[in-house]
Amino acid sequence: APPSQSGTARWLDAVQVRELEPQLHKDVVGGWWFPEDASVDARRLTCSLRAACVGAGVQFMCGEECEATSLDLSGGTCRGVRLADGRNLAPQSILVANGSWMRSLLPVPVVPHKGQSFSMRMPSNTPPILSRVLFAQDTYIVPKADGRIVVGATV
């Protein structure tokens, strides 16, 4: 069964699964359905977020020389950041977006996982073969609104 924090989940038998996804293989015996599940196009979201930030006057700093090497923490507040090139910044607001590597700056329980993904597109005259995200152990298949299908795995 899915973890309790996964949201609403219902077990569907083979007949119910094929009612939702008729193209599934005949050997599929059932599956969990998460009716509240959703996905976004990360590329479009990132572009929109960047445009909104630029419009709000955000300065992006990218590259090895801009790697955050330490934070100036005082009273639970980040007052500044030291960069790999030796600069110390003390802006009004700081967002350090270094994902799994945040643990090198703060004791957070985040661990990187290696993953791989690829996308494929069905021929334009072919109807979609999936309408919902499919999950298996360490693997997922996500149909996208633009017709792509993204297949990914965590190893």
pLDDT computed for residue 42 by the predictor: 85
Residues 6+ apart with CB under 8 A from 153: 115, 116, 117, 138, 139, 140
pLDDT computed for residue 12 by the predictor: 92
pLDDT computed for residue 11 by the predictor: 92
pLDDT computed for residue 65 by the predictor: 95
pLDDT computed for residue 93 by the predictor: 86
pLDDT computed for residue 74 by the predictor: 87
Residue 30 bridge partners (DSSP)? 13
- With residue 11 as reference, give the H or E element that holds it: strand 10-13
pLDDT computed for residue 13 by the predictor: 93
Contact 36, 7 (CB under 8 A): yes
Only one residue has tokens 């298949």, namely 141
C-alpha span between 110 and 101 (Å, rounded): 8
C-alpha span between 24 and 138 (Å, rounded): 19
Residues with pLDDT less than 50, the chain: none
pLDDT computed for residue 40 by the predictor: 86
pTM of the model: 0.66
